[in-house]
A and B are shown apart, each in its own frame.
Chain A
Amino acid sequence: MSSDKGGGVTVSGLTVRHRRTLALDAVDLDFAPGVHGLLGPNGAGKTSLIRVLATVAAPTAGRVSLLGGDISNHRERTEARRRLGYLPQEFGYYPGFTVREFVAYVAWLKEMPAASVPGAVERVVERVGLADRIDAKVKSLSGGMIRRVGIAQALVNDPALLLLDEPTAGLDPEQRFEFRALLRDVGTASTVIVSTHLVEDVATACTEVTLLDAGRVAYRGTPGELSALGDERRPGQEADPLGDNPIERGYTTVLRSHRQLLPEARR
């Protein structure tokens, strides 16, 4: 993999409000190169955070710096967009396009130099395991393959910041295994932020984990540290109500303690 592409993500006082719902509440975060897992229950604010980082949605308040540029500045936002890759939770595509055409279209949207597009498209399609279907229409692919097209389009510009919202949904176990390897590879030089419900994705692929709950940061640490919080199984219990494996139990432990503290913090 290439060397460090520089720059990370810094978020300070980030607030996102959808009508009367507070999705993110003055969040402060920073992400350095590596693979970062975003965990949290439904409605925790994971997708809101990813959408703001992808510059799709504007924050209600706060400051966001991507790859060294302030996204409230048009020029710096455009520069950051050239260097980021984004896979939305609901990945949309043009069904009549071939895989090659669709990925090339995104490369054009990312303002990649025209001469480098054909090679980049073929490389990234091979990387996600779709080389033999590169000239097939997207509508002819299975759900898992379409998800891989989504991953390919997010990677085509070799992004310095890769934002993935539920990327493994629809992938079979073997594909998930390969995808995690891909994430680890990309994360050696880029900042990768993965929003997921699957704790095993975090355990095996991420260097750092951020747990969001009710629009706030409930926990930050490594997957190992999170697992350690749930490592101790209570004696005499066959099945622990907090989860089947250490990281699940750690996740539940953190959430419960955060929920106990939350009312005090908001007071």
Chain B
Amino acid sequence: MTTTAPGRPALRALKAPLPDRHSPFRSEFLRGLAPWTGATVTAVLLAAMLSKSVQWQGSWGGTQSLLKSAAVLLGGPLAVAAGCWQGGRERRRGTVGLLATASRGRPAKTLVAVAPLTAWVLIGYLVALVVVLAATLPYAHRGRPLVSYAVTDLTFLVSITAVGFVAGRLVPWRLTAPLLAVCAYLGLGFPAYLGSDLRLLSPAEQVDTTYVPLWWQPLVMSAWTGGLAAAAFLVYAARRRAFAVLPLAMAVAAGTLIADLGPGMWRHVPTPGVRACGSGETGPTVCVDDPDRELLPAIRAALGGLHDRLQEMSTPPYTYVANNAELGPIDVRLPSLSRGWNVVRDEVVDPAAFARETAQMLPFFGRCSTEKLTPAEAERFSKLQQTVLAWLAPADTVLPGTPPHGSVRDTDLRAPLAAMAPAARASWLDRYVAAARSCDPKKMPKL
């Protein structure tokens, strides 16, 4: 009997025997194409995600959705090409004869050659997944990452690697791998242009990020992609090729179900009814959906100037409300908070434009139909509205209008109001609001 010396677990782990250096799986895992493929998958996915980080870094759905697109449209062609190259290795290396004289069965030989490569593709994907989820974590406050996305992506990558491997074994042409990658890219991307639910047969396709897959959706999708790959694998590797009928039947059934149910395999996630409001002695009162509460300081800061200018007038202190909440008499709807567009990493991308868009929602703008006005009155109405908007929420933009030059700068528009004394300006603005509410052009103050 031997006894184990006591010691710290870490030290004992260091002294543990190395994995068997004679295992064929280990050799295939460590040598040749496989590790490089894993590293390339990670690099390609992260490069693609990095280039669009503003779009996804703030939403679990957006992150996983974009990673899925990248995994299928970029990782897929890469995996199929790597599989194909690995499949053609015996021809390139001249080991076909050596393998043909081996007693080990073809399924085992095939598995040992393709499984390590597949494992590296999966590792490459998982590393990219962990990195992007970690990057999203500080900014995503709604929902959670879904395992179902990862399951369908992983099954797809395994499947397409195996299909590429079989193609590489069967087609003795060096250009098969790059050609297969191009075909995969086109074949997986093309369904996006289909109007019917058949587009959902492509693993790259998905529904809106406000929908989440039902629990069995990844199983059906995995049966579709995995079934096709398993059929291809068995046709090549199995002694009894008839066995390939089973996974093929499974894939056909799953494909039929996907085409038939379409978006029915996803469910809408309703916006939670709970609101979070931010207010203070200074600055506006802003209410958003509770998961967006982290945005309150940024929104209140963006609307600070608008709030201060409105306070010069005798309008009520408005409350700015986000999204689909019902509006009260003194509520003003905020622009849609769209992460990746006007909100990135819990910050408002363009505070001035956000304030301008909010100002346009003030209740005294856009109430009058220009059809009841003469062209001259309508033009005057429009010009005064632009002037007031430029004063309330200056955005330093160039607006169309005012011939002969064809455009007018925001700063020029607000100049007359800026030149007035505060009391006169407040009086003028109150008269403007009263006229705008009554839609009476005769009451419009002169400027």
Contacts and interface: CB of A to CB of B under 8 A. Distances in A.
Contacts of A93: 93, 95
Contacts, number: 88
A110 B102 contact: yes
B104 A94 contact: no
Contact of B103 (A88, A101, A109, A121): A109
Interface in B58-106: 89-90, 93-104
Contacts of B97: 51, 54, 56, 86, 88, 92
B96 A55 contact: no
A88 B100 CA distance: 11
Interface stretch (B21-29, B383-391, B408-416): B21-29
A194 interface: no
Contact of A104 (B21, B31, B109): B21
A96 B102 contact: no
A111 B104 contact: yes
B103 A81 contact: yes
B264 interface: no
B31 A82 contact: no
A101 B21 contact: yes
Contacts of A114: 20, 22
Interface string A100-130: 1110111111110010011001000000000
Contacts of A172: none
Contacts of B101: 54-56, 81, 84, 86
Interface in B112-162: 112
A247 B267 CA distance: 86
Interface residues of A, number: 35
B27, B31, B97, B101 pick with most chain A CB within 10 angstroms: B101
Contacts of A101: 21-22, 26-27, 31
Nearest to B89: A94
A72 B32 CA distance: 35
A142 B368 CA distance: 90
A251 B27 CA distance: 45
Contacts of B32: 94, 96-97
B31 A109 contact: no
B102 A81 contact: yes
Contacts of A79: 103
A177 interface: no
B98 A92 contact: yes
A153 B98 CA distance: 10
A88 B98 contact: yes
Given A94-B93, A121-B22, A55 B100 contact: yes
A118 B23 CA distance: 10
Given A81-B101, A81-B103, A97 B31 contact: yes
B100 A97 contact: no
Nearest to A100: B21
Given A92-B93, A94-B95, A101-B22, A78 B31 contact: no
Contacts of A78: 103
Contact of A108 (B90, B96, B104): B104
Interface string A226-243: 000000000000000000
A94 B24 contact: no
Interface string A205-222: 000000000000000000
Contacts of B23: 104, 108
A264 interface: no
A90 interface: yes
Contacts of A54: 97, 100-101
A139 to B, nearest CB: 10
Nearest to A79: B103
Contacts of B98: 86, 88, 91-92, 106, 109, 153
10 contacts: A54-B100, A55-B100, A56-B97, A81-B102, A96-B32, A101-B27, A105-B24, A109-B98, A109-B99, A118-B20
Given A55-B101, A81-B102, 14 more contacts: A56-B97, A81-B103, A92-B93, A92-B96, A97-B31, A97-B32, A100-B21, A100-B22, A102-B27, A108-B24, A109-B24, A109-B99, A114-B22, A153-B98
Interface of A: 51, 54-56, 78-79, 81-82, 84, 86, 88, 90-97, 100-102, 104-111, 114, 117-118, 121, 153
